[in-house]
Chain A
Amino acid sequence: MIPERHLNIAVLMLFFAVPAWALIMDEPFTITLATRAAILALAATGLNIALGLGGLVSLGHAIFFGIGGYAMGVLAFHAQTYTPMQLGGFEIAGTKSMPVIWLVALVASGIAAVLVGLLSLRTSGVYFIMITLAFGQMFYYFAISWRAYGGEDGLSIYVRNDFPGLNTLDPIQFFGLCATLLCLALLVFWRLARSPFGLALGAARQVPQRVETVGLDPVRLKLVAFVLSGMMTGLAGALFADLNRFVSPTMFSWQFSGELIVLVILGGVGRLMGPLIGAGLFVTLEHVLGDITDFWHVILGAILLVIVLFARGGVVGLFCGKARPDA
């Protein structure tokens, strides 16, 4: 067993070393893969707040990922076609500015998370999984039927959006941007887990009746966690759309919600670096195995099975054992 802190530092160093090496070797595709891992890790770190800290098994987090994606798609679409949005008599111009798009993505996914959370948190266990899945399907089919923005075909954005002072089309600069946001999100997760809120949330996951008897409302704690979680995943969605310069209803698919859960379980539920490890493994396997066989998902499934059966704490648990609660 090694201290979790050491593993965390090693993982972060590897995470930055790979694209640095790719830059020297002039392998932009590897940088893009690292960027993809960073964005998936950001989305999964969002889920880790709900799932890891709050114990909320959400099979609907694609909702927020999709909303983030469409926030980018819709705003950039109106900017590239020079047509303002018509919103109840108001005209709103599109934008190619990433900070504005991120803000819209955060707010929109936050609002969605309040609504989905308020209704879903009336239930728990399997019912919670089912109701979040159902909400996910609603958003998915809504996106498919939303003709104005491409319907089933999705929306292509021709040029990546802008960030002040950066050339976002340069893979390493875009990686730097995504990696910075990921590191901020990891910092937020790390502090959140130890904050009074995180402590109460963890107790609400383990013993809700205890939380109530000290005068706190476990459902409200979980709702706030769900909203923070959804916002982070929503931000990742906006970045993901920018990475691919494309949004489509598949961002809302339940398969993606499932993949996010897989990433977190693979890396270690509730562990700081769990999502990044999971996303790194996932992208690597997808790339390496995807080249060899079309059935790489089967192999991923087998690996997942082994992890769940023999290493309950995911990769982090394998190396570091149980989490130290007050570390």
Chain B
Amino acid sequence: MPDPILTTTNLQKSFGALKATDSVSLDLRQGEIHAIIGPNGAGKSTLIDLISGRTQPDAGSVTLLGQDVTHAGTAARARAGLGRTFQISALAMEDTVLQNAVLGAMGASGKPWRFWRPALWDADLRMRAEEALRRVGLADDAGKRCAELSHGQRRQLEVAVALTLSPHAFIMDEPMAGLGAEGSRLLTGFLDSLRSEAPILLVEHDMDAVFALADRISVLVYGRVIATGTAAEIRASREVRDAYLGEDA
């Protein structure tokens, strides 16, 4: 089996007495969607913050493409090939949709140190940005101010900005949140095709999407991974049912 793209080993993070992340070891392999599920407050967002570099772990390590990035900052990890999306959209609201996407393209090219020629005149940046917008279905809204977008469109733009980075791994925190049935269905289809470009670590509440998409599922409860397996295995697991899925799952 080839080396995983991303690995966490015994990650630990406490907030005061609360163990938000408790010995989490998992990996993300080429071509897969690995879903993380768990009840609210289980530590999913914290885990994503640890992986993306927004939070430093108390112990444990994060390896990206064979490189130990545990002590690298968020920006360095992004440059190393990590593309994350936020649970709560983090977009430049005053800027246009296109400008937000161009920002991503600029980060990917690592060249913000140009002070004279307008960013939107750069054909290369624009092409990357417009391509990403087209793929998530925002091509027609490129000129809109981000603040004018609907909630669902903001979620789409979150994904588009990550796309502009052409990352080696996607880390997505509840991309379907608040999308509605139709939006979720569309995004599910899109993520399905995206996994061949780069694997996706997917935190998601929408169980239909998770079971439709995930190659593997890890269940997080009180900061600990209580089970990892295929959709069928997780569905069948007694422990998972008791802890999380309930009777109807």
Instruction: Identify which of A35-43, A143-151, A207-215 touches chain B.
Output: A207-215
When the two chains form their complex, are residues B75 and A216 in contact, meaning their CB atoms are under 8 A apart?
yes
Please tell me if the beta carbons of B79 and A215 are within 8 angstroms of each other in the complex. Answer: yes
- When distances are taken between beta carbons in the complex, the residues of chain B under 8 Å from A215 are 75-76, 78-79, 107-108, 110, 165
1/0 contact string of B32-47 vs chain A (CB within 8 Å): 0000000000000000
* Chain B residue total in the interface (Cβ 8 A): 46
Q: When the two chains form their complex, are residues B122 and A196 in contact, meaning their CB atoms are under 8 A apart?
A: yes
B78-A206 in contact (CB<8A): no
Interface string of B59-86 (1 = CB under 8 A from A): 0000000000000011110110001101
* Nearest neighbor of B116 in chain A, beta-carbon distance: A191
Interface 9-residue window, one of A72-80, A130-138, A197-205: A197-205
Measured in the bound complex, the distance between the Cα atoms of B119 and A212 in whole Å is: 18
Q: How far is the CA of A198 from the CA of B103 in the complex (A)?
A: 10
Q: Which of B74, B78, B114, B165 has the most CB of A within 10 A?
A: B74
> Roughly how many angstroms separate A211 CA and B74 CA in the complex, as a whole number?
10
Residues of B contacting A192 in the complex (Cβ-Cβ under 8 angstroms): 115-116
In the bound complex, CA of A202 to CA of B165 (Å):
19
B114 with A207: CB separation less than 8 A: no
Q: Is the CB of A325 within 8 A of B114?
A: no
Chain B minimum-CB-distance residue to A217: B75
Subset of 28 A-B contacts with CB under 8 Å: A192-B116, A194-B118, A194-B119, A194-B120, A195-B115, A196-B106, A196-B122, A202-B95, A203-B92, A207-B90, A207-B92, A209-B90, A210-B92, A210-B103, A212-B73, A212-B75, A213-B75, A214-B106, A214-B108, A214-B161, A214-B164, A215-B79, A215-B110, A216-B107, A217-B73, A224-B113, A325-B99, A326-B99
Interface residues of A (CB under 8 A from B): 191-192, 194-200, 202-203, 206-207, 209-217, 221, 224, 323, 325-326
Closest 10 CB pairs of A and B: A214-B107, A215-B78, A212-B74, A194-B118, A215-B107, A200-B112, A215-B79, A196-B119, A203-B92, A210-B90
Extra pairs beyond A212-B53, A326-B95 (18, CB < 8 Å): A194-B119, A194-B120, A195-B118, A197-B113, A197-B114, A197-B115, A199-B95, A199-B119, A202-B94, A206-B93, A210-B161, A213-B74, A213-B75, A213-B86, A214-B165, A215-B107, A323-B94, A326-B99
